[in-house]
Amino acid sequence: MTAPRILPANDREAIALAADALRAGDLVAFPTETVYGLGADAGDPRAVAKVYAAKGRPSFNPLISHFADTASAQAHGAFGDAAMRLADAFWPGPLTLVVSRNQASNISDLACAGLETVALRVPKGADAHALLAAFGGPVVAPSANRSGYVSATTAQHVAGDLGEAVAIVLDGGPTGIGIESTIVDCSGERARILRSGAITREQVREVLGELLSDDDAHDGEIAAPGMMASHYAPSVPVRLDARSILAGEAAILFGGTEPSGLENAAHVANLSTSGDLIEAAANLFTVLRDLDAAGARAIAVAPIPQTGLGEAINDRLRRAAAPRDSGS
């Protein structure tokens, strides 16, 4: 295995190589005005799965997609009055907008963790801009550190922390203050602040006035977005650790082992015939959606190992299988 290549962020050739690496589905860390981001092609679910694997996150948080300019970002979501005003006022800058995802958007289901909304940002700073412009599509970029470690503010931190999982680290020197972007949800009737950050509530209020809701104020309330009620869950029951398939069930398999009774299945999908957990993560949300739409009476899921990304996959499946209330 190879260590990441650390290349100067202000070098044209390095930017071109980094954009190529993103196109190839590899990870590229780059400096933003907040901290170093761990970048991947948001439209490539395998690349997005590598981000979760590299960070060692035990569950799938939705990720923020980054763009070179406002027009490119706007193509991916429905921008109402509030979102338009905020984009005009603060982009490029440390503000993330959550909006309804456009049908035409290529941002993967995995990047959105199955939500119907997308989180979009146009970061400030020449290095990030150069990479995003050269790549030309949405780039997810959570902080470039292993889950639970401090955010990386130098290229050397990134390389030391994430090692060979990253193909290229663009070195733009130490990043600034390291405060995260403020996240404003503009997908509902009134805008809500989901995460406080570099842009203050007062600044948002000044731009939105009455369009900003007051009933949000609790910091960290959305700390676990996987728990949000709007999170995608199949409409039919989900049965885990299925070693046999019942008549009329849709079957989700993993690897080469066939459960008994498979001939009774209404539909069969395999998350990864070779037993590759990254491939399985990449396919998970789309397979759940497709089987749900196919109209089976229930979904039975074969056992999936609890190692590596398996932990996040099983976490998501347990949520899909849990009884849910029909509340907001």
Residues binding ligand AMP (CB under 6 A):
61-64, 98, 112, 115, 117-119, 142-143, 180, 183, 194-195, 222, 225
**Residue 117 binds: one of Mg ion, ligand AMP, none (C-beta under 5 to 8 A by kind):** ligand AMP
Judged by beta carbon, residue 11 or residue 180, the one nearer ligand AMP is: 180
Q: Residue 61 and residue 179: Cα distance in Å, rounded?
A: 19
- Of the listed pieces 66-74, 129-137, 138-146, 251-259, which binds Mg ion according to CB under 5 A? 138-146
The greatest distance separating any two alpha carbons of the chain, rounded to the nearest whole angstrom, comes to 62
Burial 51-65 (b: 16+ CB within 10 A, else e): bbbbbbbebbbbbbb
253 CB-contact burial (10 Å; exposed 0-12 / middle 13-18 / buried 19+): buried
Judged by beta carbon, residue 40 or residue 253, the one nearer Mg ion is: 40
Judged by beta carbon, residue 7 or residue 95, the one nearer ligand AMP is: 95
Q: Residue 321 and residue 252: Cα distance in Å, rounded?
A: 13
**Residue 284 binds: one of Mg ion, ligand AMP, none (C-beta under 5 to 8 A by kind):** none
**Residue 125 binds: one of Mg ion, ligand AMP, none (C-beta under 5 to 8 A by kind):** none
Nearest-approach distance from CB 78 to ligand AMP, in angstroms: 13
Judged by beta carbon, residue 130 or residue 141, the one nearer Mg ion is: 141
3-state DSSP helix/strand/coil percent for the chain, to nearest 5?
30, 20, 50
CA distances from 143 to 49, 135, 307 (A): 15, 19, 23
Asked if 235 contacts 292 with a C-beta cutoff of 8 angstroms, the reply is: yes
Residue whose token pair is 């199949």: 234
Nearest-approach distance from CB 40 to Mg ion, in angstroms: 15
Strands (E), 136-204: 139-140, 168-171, 182-185, 192-195
**Residue 115 binds: one of ligand AMP, Mg ion, none (C-beta under 5 to 8 A by kind):** ligand AMP
Judged by beta carbon, residue 208 or residue 242, the one nearer ligand AMP is: 208
Nearest-approach distance from CB 52 to Mg ion, in angstroms: 13
CA distances from 234 to 182, 253, 291 (A): 31, 17, 9
1 CB-contact burial (10 Å; exposed 0-12 / middle 13-18 / buried 19+): exposed
Judged by beta carbon, residue 101 or residue 254, the one nearer ligand AMP is: 101
Nearest-approach distance from CB 231 to ligand AMP, in angstroms: 9
| DSSP annotation of 93 | S
Judged by beta carbon, residue 10 or residue 196, the one nearer ligand AMP is: 196
**Cα torsion angle, 142, 147, 151, 156, sign:** negative
Nearest-approach distance from CB 2 to ligand AMP, in angstroms: 26
Contact with Mg ion (CB under 5 A) among 34, 143, 153, 182: 143
Report strand pairing: 139-140 vs 36-41: antiparallel
**Residue 7 binds: one of Mg ion, ligand AMP, none (C-beta under 5 to 8 A by kind):** none
Binding of residue 187 to Mg ion (CB under 5 A): no
**Residue 222 binds: one of Mg ion, ligand AMP, none (C-beta under 5 to 8 A by kind):** ligand AMP
Nearest-approach distance from CB 195 to ligand AMP, in angstroms: 6
Judged by beta carbon, residue 129 or residue 195, the one nearer ligand AMP is: 195
**Omega of the bond leading into 4 within 30 degrees of 0 (cis):** no
Q: Residue 84 and residue 282: Cα distance in Å, rounded?
A: 32
**Residue 182 binds: one of Mg ion, ligand AMP, none (C-beta under 5 to 8 A by kind):** none
By CB under 5 A, name the binding residues for Mg ion.
143
